[in-house]
Amino acid sequence: MQLSERLKKLPKYLFAEIDEMKKKKMMEGVDVIDFGVGDPDMPTPKHIVDAMKKAVEKPENHRYPTYEGLLEFREAVAEFYMRRKGVKLDPEREVIALIGSKEGIAHLPLAFVNDGDYTIVPDPAYPVYFASTILADGIPYRVPLKKENDFLPNFEEIPSEIAKKARIMFLNYPNNPTSAVAEKEFIKEAIDFCMDNGIILAHDFAYGEITFDGYRAKSFLEVENAFEVCVEFNSLSKTFNMTGWRIGFAVGNSEILKGLLKVKTNVDSGVFQAVQEAGITALRSEDKVIEDICSVYRERRDLLVEGLKEIGLEVEKPKATFYVWCQVPDGYTSVEFTKKLLNDAGILVTPGVGFGEHGEGFVRFALTRDVETIAKAVDRLKNVNL
Ligand SMILES: *Cc1c(COP(=O)(O)O)cnc(C)c1O
SS3 341: helix
Residues β-bridged to residue 365: 324
The number of the ligand 1 atom at minimal distance from the alpha carbon of 103 is 7
**CA angle centred on 13, ends 12 and 15, rounded to 5°:** 155
Which pLDDT value is given to residue 158? Answer: 98
Which pLDDT value is given to residue 37? Answer: 87
Which pLDDT value is given to residue 17? Answer: 81
pTM of this prediction exceeds 0.75: yes
**CA angle centred on 333, ends 327 and 334, rounded to 5°:** 55
How far is Cα 155 from Cα 126, in angstroms, rounded to an integer?
A: 19
Which pLDDT value is given to residue 386? Answer: 82
User: Pocket of ligand 1, candidates 99, 126, 234: which has the most ligand atoms within 8 Å of its Cβ, to mutate?
Assistant: 126
Identify the architecture of domain 46-283 in CATH.
3-Layer(aba) Sandwich (3.40)
- Ligand 1 atom 14: residue of nearest CA: 206
Which pLDDT value is given to residue 192? Answer: 98
- pLDDT of the chain along its 386 residues, tens only? 999 999 999 987 777 788 898 999 999 999 999 999 899 999 999 999 999 999 999 999 999 999 999 999 999 999 999 999 999 999 999 999 999 999 999 999 999 999 999 999 999 999 999 999 999 999 999 999 999 999 999 999 999 999 999 999 999 999 999 999 999 999 999 999 999 999 999 999 999 999 999 999 999 999 999 999 999 999 999 999 999 999 999 999 999 999 999 999 999 999 999 999 999 999 999 999 999 999 999 999 999 999 999 999 999 999 999 999 999 999 999 999 999 999 999 999 999 999 999 999 999 999 999 999 999 999 999 999 88
The number of the ligand 1 atom at minimal distance from the alpha carbon of 237 is 9
pLDDT in tens, 227-265: 999 999 999 999 999 999 999 999 999 999 999 999 999
Question: Could you tell me the CA-to-CA distances from 211 to 206, 227, 318 in Å, in that order?
Answer: 12, 24, 9
Buried-state track 210-226, b at ≥16 Cβ within 10 A, e below 16: bbbeeeebbbbbebeeb
Concatenate the DSSP letters of all residues of 184-232 into one string: HHHHHHHHHHHHHHT-EEEEE-TTTT-B-TT--PPPGGGSTTHHHHEEE
The number of the ligand 1 atom at minimal distance from the alpha carbon of 234 is 8
Which pLDDT value is given to residue 95? Answer: 98
What are the sequence ranges of the domains in the chain?
A: 5-43+288-381, 46-283
Which pLDDT value is given to residue 343? Answer: 94
Cα of 49 from ligand 1 centre, angstroms: 21
Which pLDDT value is given to residue 115? Answer: 95
User: Pocket of ligand 1, candidates 235, 246, 247, 325: which has the most ligand atoms within 8 Å of its Cβ, to mutate?
Assistant: 235
Question: Could you tell me the CA-to-CA distances from 95 to 78, 194, 249, 256 in Å, in that order?
Answer: 8, 21, 7, 11
Alpha helices in 57-97 (DSSP H): 71-85
Which pLDDT value is given to residue 124? Answer: 98
- Ligand 1 atom 3: residue of nearest CA: 206
How far is Cα 129 from Cα 134, in angstroms, rounded to an integer?
A: 9
Identify the architecture of domain 5-43+288-381 in CATH.
Alpha-Beta Complex (3.90)
Which residues does 195 contact at the CB level (< 8 Å), separation at least 6?
225, 228, 229
| First CA to last CA distance, the chain | 47
Exposed / middle / buried, residue 355 (Cβ in 10 Å: 0-12, 13-18, 19+): buried
The number of the ligand 1 atom at minimal distance from the alpha carbon of 175 is 13
Question: Which of 190, 121, 161, 138 has the alpha carbon at shortest distance from 356?
Answer: 121
User: Pocket of ligand 1, candidates 37, 44, 101, 271: which has the most ligand atoms within 8 Å of its Cβ, to mutate?
Assistant: 101
Cα of 312 from ligand 1 centre, angstroms: 32
Packing angle between helix 287-310 and helix 371-381, nearest 10 degrees?
A: 10
Cα of 320 from ligand 1 centre, angstroms: 15
Cα of 101 from ligand 1 centre, angstroms: 6
SS3 350: strand
Residues with CB under 6 A from ligand 1: 38, 100-102, 126, 172, 176, 204, 206, 235, 237-238, 243, 248
Cα of 368 from ligand 1 centre, angstroms: 15
Which pLDDT value is given to residue 351? Answer: 96
Cβ atoms within 10 A of the Cβ of 338, count? 27
- Ligand 1 atom 2: residue of nearest CA: 206
How far is Cα 309 from Cα 242, in angstroms, rounded to an integer?
A: 32
